[in-house]
């Protein structure tokens, strides 16, 4: 063995791109050893169709921001393009590595398989891999009986500070020397983008402006497609990629409550922070949700795939303005509020009668805040295939009129409708030949006719899904799901 190898520990960044309230970093620093901060752009994820360029750009911006903060400590993150085992293998030629620290990632199946392979690799090389709980999500639970208590205990801990000892982090020059041994990549991204910029610095700005006053309209604007863009916190991508921790945001909200002018809005926001952990915990305990409905009774539900319907939905050409506005907005900005997300999934699975699995990768690629633990459970819930949730089939016309009454959002994202009267912007298919001539507008040319009949498709979906709720397997699975994913306290209350 080469005794000249310097002993170091590694912190492996995944979806925790921050220095503050990062338990992996905190524990690594507590060891007293010198630390290398590492991020790997893994080929298996770059090639996976759940991800897209917007995600990698957000991550690059987050790493640039991390490096700006680390300049104060004469350090930086080692950023390479490879796979984790190959990277550590290469580093072992130069360093003696005893510990690697990271958070437990509740990701898509290939990340879980990667983690199992990496765990075996660590054992074979006498490396201790220390995985820390992320945002209160616990691994290995068989039910939820103790989860609430454990989660509460996690959130009650004060956020952890970042305080490395002098020269504890590998220096810039040392890391630049290491970089020569690897395939690195540029962290530059286009400055001209409609997407929120990655990084803790930007995330904290969004959070500050929300707590400084925007939160007061939270409950009023949360369901509105246009107003929610300012009325909601807009920190979801910073939570998804770990620029901010749920715990530190929760603590800030809690301390603000004492002087808050609108405590109800703040309470609603805080409950949704905890709701995030609940759904990710569900996915952690039942990862098969990535590909199949959690309720096995719905596996027998067969839907005929229509590529034409799916293409119209993806491109915002369905003939339903609110749906098309949402899909176009999502493509350009990566963001929709919760109700509009539910609406487009409901339309896809109920009115177009397409399997929810056919929507997974397109939406994950579009959502800048793609979080697997929320993505898959929510798709199934909106598709009505859990057996435990209320069946909700959203009416796009009703939601359009109620939440975008002046058609502001519609006219912004479906500009071919911007010169129409508000009533026609919501329902252009109601225009007569005379109306079309008066507005110099032609249905089927300037904007498509509706691709389905809302009433007929709603009835078909409702009748089918309600009848399936009576199925023996669906009912049996319902009891299993409730037992596994809710506590006895929640069930009784």
DSSP assignments along 303-326, one per residue = ----HHHHHHHHHT-SS-HHHHHH
Question: Residue 323 in contact with residue 330, Cβ under 8 Å?
Answer: no
Q: Helices 246-256 and 200-211 meet at what angle, rounded to 10?
A: 20
Predicted local distance difference test score (pLDDT) of residue 389: 84
DSSP characters over 167-190: T-BPPHHHHHHHHTTS--------
pLDDT of residue 52: 97
CA distance 338 to 336: 7
Four-point Cα dihedral 268, 269, 271, 272, nearest 10: 120
Pairing of β 95-103 and β 128-132: parallel
CB atoms within 10 A of CB 189: 19
**10-residue block means of pLDDT along the chain (493 residues)?**
80 98 97 97 97 98 98 98 97 97 95 96 98 91 89 94 97 97 94 93 98 95 97 97 97 92 92 91 94 95 97 98 98 98 98 98 98 96 92 96 98 98 98 97 98 97 94 95 74 39
Q: Give all domains of the chain, ordered by start, each with its CATH number.
A: 6-179 (3.40.50.620), 200-285 (1.25.40.80), 290-492 (1.10.579.10)
- Number of C-beta neighbours around residue 168 at 10 A: 16
* pLDDT computed for residue 84 by the predictor: 97
Q: What is the pLDDT of residue 260?
A: 87
pLDDT at res. 487? 66
**Residue that has been written with the tokens 């002993």 in this structure:** 7
The pTM for the full model equals: 0.95
Buried b (16+ CB within 10 A) or exposed e, 246-267: bbbbbbbbeebeeebeeeebbe
Q: Is 9 helix (H, G, I), strand (E, B) or coil?
A: strand
* pLDDT, position 3: 58
- From residue 35, how far is each of 12, 76, 116, 162, 239 by CA, in Å? 10, 11, 24, 13, 25
């Amino acid at each position: 063995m080469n005794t000249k190898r310097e002993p170091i520990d590694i912190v492996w960044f995944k979806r925790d791109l921050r220095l503050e309230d990062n338990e992996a970093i905190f524990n690594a620093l507590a060891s007293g050893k010198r630390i290398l901060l590492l991020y790997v752009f893994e080929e298996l994820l770059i090639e996976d169709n759940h991800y897209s360029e917007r995600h990698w750009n957000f991550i690059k911006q987050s790493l640039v921001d991390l490096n700006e903060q680390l300049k104060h400590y004469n350090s930086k993150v080692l950023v390479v393009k490879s796979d984790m085992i190959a990277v550590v293998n290469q580093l072992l030629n130069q360093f003696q590595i005893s510990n690697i620290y990271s958070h437990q990632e509740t990701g898509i199946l290939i990340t879980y398989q990667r983690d199992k392979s990496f765990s075996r690799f660590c054992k074979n090389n006498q490396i201790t891999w220390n995985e820390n709980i992320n945002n209160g999500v616990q691994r290995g639970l068989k039910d939820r009986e103790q989860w609430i208590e454990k989660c509460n205990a996690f959130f009650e801990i004060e956020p952890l500070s970042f305080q490395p000892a002098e020269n504890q982090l590998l220096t810039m020059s040392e890391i630049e020397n290491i970089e020569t041994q690897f395939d690195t990549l540029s962290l530059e991204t286009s400055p001209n983008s409609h997407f929120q910029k990655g990084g803790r610095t930007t995330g904290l700005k969004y959070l500050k402006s929300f707590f400084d006053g925007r939160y007061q309209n939270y409950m009023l604007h949360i369901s509105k497609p246009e107003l929610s863009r300012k009325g909601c916190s807009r920190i979801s991508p910073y939570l998804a990629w770990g620029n901010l921790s749920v715990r530190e945001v929760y603590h800030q909200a809690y301390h603000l409550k004492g002087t808050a002018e609108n405590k109800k809005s703040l309470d609603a926001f805080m409950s949704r922070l905890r709701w995030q952990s609940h759904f990710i915990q569900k996915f952690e305990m039942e990862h098969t949700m990535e590909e199949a409905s959690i309720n096995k009774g719905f596996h027998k539900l067969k839907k005929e795939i229509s590529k034409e319907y799916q293409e119209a939905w993806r491109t915002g050409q369905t003939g339903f303005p609110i749906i098309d506005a949402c899909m176009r907005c999502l493509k350009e900005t990566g963001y929709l509020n919760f109700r509009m997300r539910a609406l487009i999934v409901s339309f896809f699975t109920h009115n177009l009668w397409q399997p929810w699995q056919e929507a997974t990768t397109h939406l994950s690629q579009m959502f800048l805040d793609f979080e697997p633990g929320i993505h898959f459970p929510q798709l199934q819930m909106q598709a009505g295939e859990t057996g435990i949730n209320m069946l909700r089939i959203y009416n796009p016309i009703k939601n359009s009129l109620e939440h975008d009454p002046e058609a502001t959002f519609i006219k912004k994202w479906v500009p071919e409708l911007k010169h129409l009267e508000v009533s026609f912007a919501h329902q252009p298919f109601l225009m007569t030949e005379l109306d079309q001539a008066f507005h110099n507008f032609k249905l089927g040319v300037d904007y498509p006719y509706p691709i389905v009949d809302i009433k007929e498709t709603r009835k078909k979906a409702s009748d089918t899904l309600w009848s399936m709720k009576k199925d023996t397997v669906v009912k049996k699975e319902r009891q299993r799901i409730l037992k596994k994913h809710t506590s006895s306290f929640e069930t009784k209350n």
